[in-house]
Amino acid sequence: MRVHLGEDVPDTDVRAALKTGDLGFLHSFTTGSAVDGPGIRLVAWTTACMFRCQYCHNPDTWTLRNGIPVTLDQAIGEVQKYANGLIAMHGGFTLSGGEPLMQDRFATRLFAAVKRMGVHTAIETNGFYADRVTDDELRDIDLVILDMKALTPDQHQRVTGLRNEEVIKFCGRLAMLKRPMWLRYVLVPGLTDDPDEMAAVADFGASLGVVERAEILPFHQMGRYKWERLGIEYKLAQTNSPTNEGIEKAISIFRSAGLDAA
């Protein structure tokens, strides 16, 4: 768990960083990921998030200053080190979080630089701040992996603390621009396993016409210790992971909507 790593950065520098993107706050880099987009990925994990998902397994990424301050040039240099290998392995670079678009200037400038290297780019996002990104900037992102928490606004609020009109709007925009998407859905018994809600998410995803695959992510308790160490109330302490049967049922709902789900 990482906390307070950017604590010494003065407020004025943080504000300037958010405005220009010259500086970003990153939790870490991971090399060799096979689950954050096509092929083998280099993943940069940003800090800061506006949601408070009950099932979040990285609550230490909620706070911007928990991340390490990294200049844009340093981040570009880090990707450059792996660029040839990523291209050779048909992989790429993924920006995840936290929520990467909390640092939208840093994210968009980093994506533009990575695209110029000829490396495939992907973002893992909750979509809430997507209106901060122009259509041109979106074209530097080859794949949007959207974590859909719910379709109905009340359920979205229950899961994340915020409503989802902006997320829905973003999905419509991706469809209009014909930008490729993957859709992710975290399956939590008693919280997100209502078949009607899942069917609504799946039907909505299918209606967009740009969702290449849907991934059901079974809830797990691996992030529990972080909630405890951060002293945040963790409502899912008694919640089990979904059963294989529950996972298969969820996958079949997404498949019934016409999505390539796993």
Binding site for ligand SF4 (CB under 6 A): 49, 51-53, 56, 58, 61, 97-99, 126, 147
Question: For the residues of the chain, what is the DSSP string, one character each?
Answer: ---STTTTS-HHHHHHHHHH-SEEEEEEEEEEESSSSSSSEEEEEE---S---TT-S-GGGSSGGGSEEEEHHHHHHHHHHHHHHHHHTT-EEEEESS-GGGGHHHHHHHHHHHHHTT-EEEEEE-STTGGGS-HHHHTT-SEEEEE---SSHHHHHHHHSS--HHHHHHHHHHHHHT--EEEEEEE-TTTT--HHHHHHHHHHHHHHS-EEEEEEEE--STTHHHHHHHT---TTTTPPPPPHHHHHHHHHHHHHTT--B-
Closest approach of Cβ 138 to ligand SF4, in Å?
19
Hey, what are 251's tokens? 């996958």
The residue (of 45 and 82) whose beta carbon lies closer to ligand SF4 is 45
Closest approach of Cβ 135 to ligand SF4, in Å?
23
The residue (of 63 and 121) whose beta carbon lies closer to ligand SF4 is 63
Sequence letter at residue 181: M
d(Cα 98, Cα 63) in Å, to the nearest integer?
Answer: 8
The residue (of 57 and 255) whose beta carbon lies closer to ligand SF4 is 57
Ramachandran quadrant class, 73 (left: phi over 0; alpha: psi -120 to 50; beta: rest): alpha
Closest approach of Cβ 178 to ligand SF4, in Å?
25
The residue (of 49 and 145) whose beta carbon lies closer to ligand SF4 is 49
Closest approach of Cβ 218 to ligand SF4, in Å?
14
Closest approach of Cβ 89 to ligand SF4, in Å?
26
The residue (of 58 and 108) whose beta carbon lies closer to ligand SF4 is 58
The residue (of 13 and 166) whose beta carbon lies closer to ligand SF4 is 166
The residue (of 53 and 86) whose beta carbon lies closer to ligand SF4 is 53
Closest approach of Cβ 123 to ligand SF4, in Å?
12
Closest approach of Cβ 109 to ligand SF4, in Å?
22
